[in-house]
Amino acid sequence: MLDTMTATATGISNAILRAKNLDVFYGEKQALFSVGIDIPEREITALIGPSGCGKSTFLRCLNRMNDTIPSCTIRGTVEIGGHDIYARDVDVVELRRRVGMVFQKPNPFPKSIYDNVAYGPRIHGLAADKGELDEIVYSCLERTGLLGEVRDRLDAPGTSLSGGQQQRLCIARAIAVSPEVILMDEPCSALDPIATARVEELMEELRRNYTIVIVTHNMQQAARVSQHTAFFHLGTLVEWGATEQIFTSPSDERTQGYITGRYG
């Protein structure tokens, strides 16, 4: 089948992230079963599937967010640029700088708009002085389309913005530390259609410099924004491939059932 890759196939040339035989357990319960996927660099990969299928669990494996859950155990590997992120010597703070995250509900810090964006560069020591820090903050706000809207009130609290603006602020905060990958967990589910369109447009813009992995329940959104789509079902990666292929001629009956609105 043209362009499509089965869950077991490996090796696309421009993979930045590569998961192999990934099993995840929450206590006794297994949440992911031998997931293997390549995430291509500077493209948008959408993870879709019914609730509880493991897509968010998988997303959280990509920057070790699951480490914060004590009962969570992981087998298998996730590589970034060829290095296993679960290796003993990995600096998790540095990993999360390289692999940033945007959540479902906009969660700006209870700080000013400026400080929300400046926070990451400060703790990672990315700016030598105030001038450099200003430059980072302004350019991130500019790239997320917020600068024009908030230029006059950079000291106002981040929480004073509208929901869509808050989400773009969170994206600005994520890119302020120059990550390689941005993980987005249903970033638009709390936004209205106009704010959603702005975020989708922003994602398309960000794709030039960053790799994006997005979990979404909205299949039209997955179809609109992504170049690659992976379908999860009951903890397994059923099928992944070019988005166009998945949404026009999926190979697996379960994928077909899910995306056409039938029981799989």
| Contact between 252 and 240 (Cβ < 8 Å) | no
* Alpha-carbon span 226 to 162, nearest angstrom: 26
Q: Is 250 exposed, middle or buried (0-12, 13-18, 19+ CB in 10 A)?
A: buried
Question: Which of 11, 70, 131, 261 forms a contact with another protein (CB under 8 A)?
Answer: 261
* Nearer residue to another protein within complex by CB, 41 or 200: 200
Name the minimum Å distance from CB 53 to another protein.
Answer: 16
Name the minimum Å distance from CB 197 to another protein.
Answer: 16
Name the minimum Å distance from CB 251 to another protein.
Answer: 8
Residues that bind another protein (rule: CB under 8 A) add up to a total of: 17
Name the minimum Å distance from CB 219 to another protein.
Answer: 7
Locate all alpha helices (DSSP H) within 9-91, ordered by sequence: 55-61
* Nearer residue to another protein within complex by CB, 135 or 253: 253
Is 247 among the residues that bind another protein (CB under 8 A)? yes
Name the minimum Å distance from CB 49 to another protein.
Answer: 14
Which residues, 6+ apart, have CB-to-CB distance to 4 below 8 Å? Answer: 239, 241, 242, 245, 246, 251
Is 36 among the residues that bind another protein (CB under 8 A)? no
Is 257 among the residues that bind another protein (CB under 8 A)? yes
Name the minimum Å distance from CB 69 to another protein.
Answer: 32
Residues in the chain: 264
* Alpha-carbon span 159 to 23, nearest angstrom: 38
* Nearer residue to another protein within complex by CB, 191 or 223: 223
* Nearer residue to another protein within complex by CB, 29 or 262: 262
Smallest CA-to-CA distance from 4 within 237, 251, 258, 227 is with 251
Is 240 among the residues that bind another protein (CB under 8 A)? no
Name the minimum Å distance from CB 237 to another protein.
Answer: 18
* Alpha-carbon span 189 to 210, nearest angstrom: 22
Place of tokens 């600005």: 172
Q: Give residues 193-232 in contact with another protein (rule: CB under 8 A).
A: 219-220, 223
Question: Which of 160, 162, 209, 248 forms a contact with another protein (CB under 8 A)?
Answer: 248
Question: How many angstroms separate the Cα of 76 from the Cα of each of 25, 120, 235?
Answer: 12, 30, 15
Question: How many angstroms separate the Cα of 96 from the Cα of each of 28, 54, 92, 152, 258?
Answer: 27, 21, 6, 31, 32
Is 250 among the residues that bind another protein (CB under 8 A)? yes
Binding site for another protein (CB under 8 A): 1, 219-220, 223, 247-250, 253, 255-257, 259-263
